[in-house]
Each structure stands twice: as structure tokens, then as C-alpha cells.
Structure 1
Amino acid sequence: MTEALIVPPGAGRRFVTRAHEVTFKVTGEHSRAASTFEVVVPPGFDVGAHVHRRGEELFYVLEGELDFLAFEPRRRTAEGWRDWRSAAGDRPVRAGAGSCLFVPPGCPHAFANRTDRPARMLFQQSPPPDHERYFEQLMEIFDSGRGVDSGAVARLRERYDVHQLTPLRYEAAAGSEGGA
């Protein structure tokens, strides 16, 4: 591709389920460097701590607040990352609009929306296009109408260099659709 790409607001290839929304803005078709997505993170969603051996990621919060983890903990626990501490004493942080997180390969990381409002972030993953296929298939799991099938998510993640350390969880806020 030798021409620039302009993606207007609301444009891009969208995947929407009852509570999740992912819009592909720049894909491997456009860039050799990275895929770029706009992601709506619903209340109660926790991606779970995970690590990529090859990929690097960038998260930029556009609206709302997300809890972020990005360090190797002193001790990994299988059930949850929110209490993890690094050897230097770092803890997960609450990040608001304008916050940016860069994650190199091999760094454990996670995000969760522990508020009662959706958060929106720009997400970039390199190299493309693995996370594009991953998101397409993950959205199918979320849209199955049977809640989040943790076994299906784990199998999907292993295929796409997403090595799970704690489980993905989605506990829909009271009165909303979806659930685990």
C-alpha cells in the first residue's frame, strides 16, 4: 500500500455483541508494523493477566477508566492479578482518559473495567494480523449467547500467542445482558 489511510469516526470493520465492541481501524492489510483497534470495554470485564512471547501492545484510554497491570509479579497467583506486586513494589493502577500503556514481549499484563460505565480505548498490537483473527474469533465466543466459555477462550488464546496467567472474566453489571 502506498497511499495514506484515513479512517473517519465510526468507520472501520466493526464487531459488536450485546456488550462488547471492537472496530478494526488499521489492519495487516494496511500496515506491516501493527494492527490498531478501537475497543469498548464493558463494566465487569477483566481480560485476565497474560503474556505474549512475540507480540507487543499499546493501550491508550480514550474514555472512562481501566485498571492496568504491566509488570512481572514477585509471585504469580492463578486466581487474580489485582493483588500482585512487583519486586520494586509496583501495583496495578487505575488509568483514566489520556493514559497510555506500552507492553513489550514477555511482560505480564492485564486490564479490567471495575467501574459501572463502559470504557473506550485505542489498542495497538504488533505484529499484525494475528490479533485481528483472534478478536474476530473471541467476539464469536462472546456472542454465542451462552456466557463466556473459558475453555474455548483458553484454546483460542494458545493459538494466538496469548498465554493466560489468570482467567478472563466477564461479570456483567446488574441489569445488563451478558455474563460469565
Structure 2
Amino acid sequence: MSGLIVPPGQGRKLTTKAQEVTFKVTGADGSSVSCFEVVVPPGFDVGAHTHTRSQEFFYVLEGELDLLAFEPTRRTEEGWHDWESADGDRVVRAGAGSCMFVPPDTPHAFRNATDRPARMLFQSFPSPDHERYFEEICEIFSAGQSVDPDAVQDLRDRYDVRQITPLRYGPPVARTPAERVARRG
């Protein structure tokens, strides 16, 4: 039996205006865990969601991402950026070297609220669910000028993604002075 070595810049790439995903290790390689390198463009917000079967691991390689991985005291449908857990956990601005583990049924999200792309390593168990998901969502993002929200919702329903807040792709959200002070504190 042999392992697999994937040099930098190698792997199967899926690229759209909304995302760039490079498959590094997949179910086709015999892995039970799918591994991807993902470039998260400025303004991209995956929206808070859960999975009943999947576990996920995110590792920030470059840039900064806002990360969430907890059940809030109160879920809101419009946004997750101000959520807080019963233990006082809040959204974290995570830089290179930060990671996030997400067990099944845990609300989680990430967004790039900066004006520069971020790059992360993303692992998902079991393989190949997220591989198929990425292939199909890239098709949806490539279909035209605007993203069809019904097609995205249908895709998410089929792949065990229970959306809580909307997926958003656009310019980074300008922070209020209070949010800038809170992030420094």
C-alpha cells in the first residue's frame, strides 16, 4: 500500500467567481476524510449551518476569517456575527495558524470580512459528501451573473446542510466603530 503526496499548487481545482477549491485528498484516493484547500474571497459568508452526519476541521493558512462553532443562546435568521453561547463564547477573528473543529449538529460558519482573500485547509468526514457538494455548488456559482438561491437550498438539503443564516457573497461588510473596538478588546 502507498500513501499520497500532493505538491503545492497541485490537486484538482474548481474555480468560480465566488470560490476556489483544490481537492487534495478524496474518497477516490481511499481516504475516509476529504481534504481541500479553499480560497475564501473578500465578502464571502458561508452562513451559519449544521450537519447531522459530518465532522469538519478548518485551518487558516493565510489571511483572516471570522469563525463560529457553538450553539448560541438565541439563533437569528439574518446573521450569526453577534451570536453568543451560554458560556460567553463569541465569534472569533482567526488568523494564520488558527483552527476550528466542528462535531455533528454544531452550528458553525465562516466569513471573510476583510478586503483580501484568505486561504484555509478544510477537512470533512465522511468522504465523499463534501467533494460532491463542492462540485455541484461550483456549477451553480458558474451558471450566471447571480446565484440561484433555490438551487443552493436544494443542494444543501441533499447534502445534509441545515442552513440557519443566508450564504452571502459580496463586498466585505463595513464594521461599525463599536464592532472595531470590540474586536480590539
Q: TM-score, normalised by structure 1?
A: 0.93
The answer to whether the 8 Å contact 1:61/1:99 transfers is: yes
SS at match of 2:29: coil
Corresponding position of 1:144: 143
Matched, 1:108 2:107: yes
Identity %: 69
SS at match of 2:131: helix
How far apart in 2 are the matches of 1:10 and 1:154? 31
Corresponding position of 2:72: 73
Deviation at 1:33, TM superposition (A): 2.3
Corresponding position of 1:176: none
Corresponding position of 1:134: 133
SS at match of 1:140: helix
The answer to whether the 8 Å contact 2:25/2:31 transfers is: no
SS at match of 2:56: strand
Q: Which moved more, 1:65-74 or 1:18-27?
A: 18-27
Q: Which has the higher strand share?
A: 1
Deviation at 1:150, TM superposition (A): 1.7
SS at match of 2:130: helix
Deviation at 1:10, TM superposition (A): 0.8
The answer to whether the 8 Å contact 1:148/1:170 transfers is: no
How far apart in 2 are the matches of 1:95 and 1:151? 31
Corresponding position of 1:82: 81
Corresponding position of 1:60: 59
Deviation at 1:17, TM superposition (A): 1.3
Query: What one-letter code is carried by the residue in structure 1 that aligns with 2:96?
Result: A
Note the alpha carbon deviations across 1:118-152, whole angstroms, 9 max, x for none: 00000000000010000000011111222222221
Deviation at 1:19, TM superposition (A): 4.2
How far apart in 1 are the matches of 2:155 and 2:104? 19
Corresponding position of 1:94: 93
The answer to whether the 8 Å contact 2:18/2:44 transfers is: no
The answer to whether the 8 Å contact 1:49/1:109 transfers is: yes
The answer to whether the 8 Å contact 1:150/1:167 transfers is: no
Deviation at 1:4, TM superposition (A): 0.6
Matches within 5 A, 1:152-171: 152-171=151-170
Q: TM-score, normalised by structure 2?
A: 0.90
The answer to whether the 8 Å contact 1:65/1:113 transfers is: yes
Q: Which moved more, 1:164-173 or 1:113-122?
A: 164-173
Across the aligned residues of Structure 1 and Structure 2, the Cα RMSD in angstroms comes to 1.0
Deviation at 1:32, TM superposition (A): 3.8
Q: Which has the higher helix share?
A: 2
Corresponding position of 1:178: none
Deviation at 1:89, TM superposition (A): 1.1
Count of matched residue pairs: 172
